[in-house]
Structure 1
Amino acid sequence: MGIVERKEREREEMRKLILDGAQKLFLANGFEKVSVRNIADEIEYSPATIYLYYKDKNELLFALHQRGFVKMLESFQPLLAISDPFERLVEMGRSYIRFAVENPELFDLMFIMTAPMDTLDKKDWVEGDQAFGLLVQVVQECMNAGIFQQHDVQSTAMMIWSSIHGYTALFLRKRLGMFAECDRQPIMDDAFQLFCETIRRGL
């Protein structure tokens, strides 16, 4: 390995260390209560070291969002080979549930934790756009195939995402315990398929 490659690997390792520390503290204490100095103390480096990689904690939050959406997109990739758009949509919902269950802390940081979205608004949010774009694409294919009635595709995609996201968030926050028959992941999978079938029938 050459000097350039070694230095780049060391930079990537430092970025990972910083992000891991930031994620741990954001989730434990909340975004507002965490400072760059806190993160530096957590990873046993000086704040100046963190500023070599990230200009502030908003940029750290954005980087963590990127990390989450890259991982989510990877879980969606095998589904692109499914030719039937309705079946692909249902499997995307199941994949979303699995991603949340297998990565609850990352999911919490991406979607649940209260934090300012200033940096996300200003940047070109490529990974997030790609994830939602895959949903819009499959919904449009369902409309083109006559599986769904023709509606505004963005609004329909948002309704579908909101449905599966709401159920998933309730499950992760343990708010379904009073409905024991609903508080299991396989039931969540079935519920999402039933929701899609309802849209399919135009009800």
Structure 2
Amino acid sequence: MSIVKRKARERAARYELILNTALELAAAEGWEAVTTRRLAALIQYSQPVLYSHFKGKAEIMAAIAMRGFEQLATELKNAAGSADALHAACTAYLQFAASQPVVYEAMFVSPTELLFASEQTPTALRDAFDALVTALGPDQEDLVFTAEVLWSALHGMVVLSQSKRLPVDGDRDRLDVLIRKFRRSC
């Protein structure tokens, strides 16, 4: 293996180490605990090495968010192939948020420089949103606007559930009510 290939492989491994360590730290102590100084110490590299990969914490969170959007888009697209695409997509969204709360927070709760609803919106974000649009079905009026309202409702359910402001035992019933309301408005 050439030196160039080895250095590229080592750089890619460091990149992954930074992201994985940031996720572990955020899961254990919250995103506020994630600092470049703390990450550098945990991965046992200097801060300049960390900065050679990311300009700071915001870029680390954006990279984690982008991966989350890629995964969410895949899960939503897979759901779109089911007999009840709307129910499957909404369920997939809620399950994603429940199974990866730290990633979800980086995607949707914490401040980010990722652009939503613009010409510069990254493909992964657009794909995830487009999967929600598709799940609504072709007969929906104002499809994009309706998908934004659906997304808002799902996000509200996630945040209220994660903050324990809604009883967990009502999650399925709330989802059923939401889906009925969207079907009725179609």
TM over 0.5: yes
Could you list the per-position Cα deviations for residues 167-198 of structure 1 after superposition, in whole angstroms to 9, with x for gaps in the alignment?
Answer: 12211221124xxxxx23xx423422322222
Superposition deviation, residue 25 in structure 1: 4.6
Q: Structure 1 residue 163: deviation in Å?
A: 1.1
Contact kept, 8 Å, 1:25 with 1:34, in 2: the verdict is yes
Query: 2:18, 2:39 within 8 Å by CA — same for their partners in 1?
Result: yes
Q: Report the equivalent of 1:162.
A: 152
Unaligned runs of 5+ in 1: 178-182
TM-score by length of 2: 0.81
Question: How far apart in 2 are the matches of 1:81 and 1:140?
Answer: 12
Is this contact kept in 1: 2:80–2:134, CA < 8 A? no
Indicate yes or no: 2:186 matched with 1:192.
Answer: no
Query: Which residue identity is paired with 1:16?
Result: E
Whether 2:120 is the aligned partner of 1:120: answer no
For 1:145-156, what aligned pairs fall within 5 Å after superposition? 148=140, 150=141, 152-156=142-146
For residue 71 of structure 1, what is the amino acid of its counterpart? Q
- 2:158 is aligned with 1:175: no
- The answer to whether the 8 A contact 2:80-2:88 is kept is no
- Matched position secondary structure for 2:114: helix
Runs of 4 or more consecutive aligned structure 1 residues displaced over 6 Å after TM superposition: none
What TM-score results when the alignment is normalised by the length of structure 1? 0.75
Write the distance in 2 (CA, Å) between the matches of 1:166 and 1:77: 21
User: 1:60 offset after TM fit, Å?
Assistant: 1.5
The alignment yields a C-alpha RMSD, in angstroms, of 2.7
**Contact map agreement 1:36 1:50 (CA 8 A) in 2:** yes
Q: Which position in structure 2 is the counterpart of 1:137? A: 134
> Contact 1:136–1:153 (CA<8 Å) still a contact in 2?
yes
What is the alpha-carbon distance in structure 2 between the residues aligned to residue 55 and residue 158 of structure 1? 31
Instruction: Write out per-residue CA displacement over residues 93-113 of structure 1, whole angstroms, 9 at most, x where no aligned residue.
Output: 001111112112222222233
Change (3 A) 1:29 1:193: closer
Distance 1:34 1:198 in 2: 40
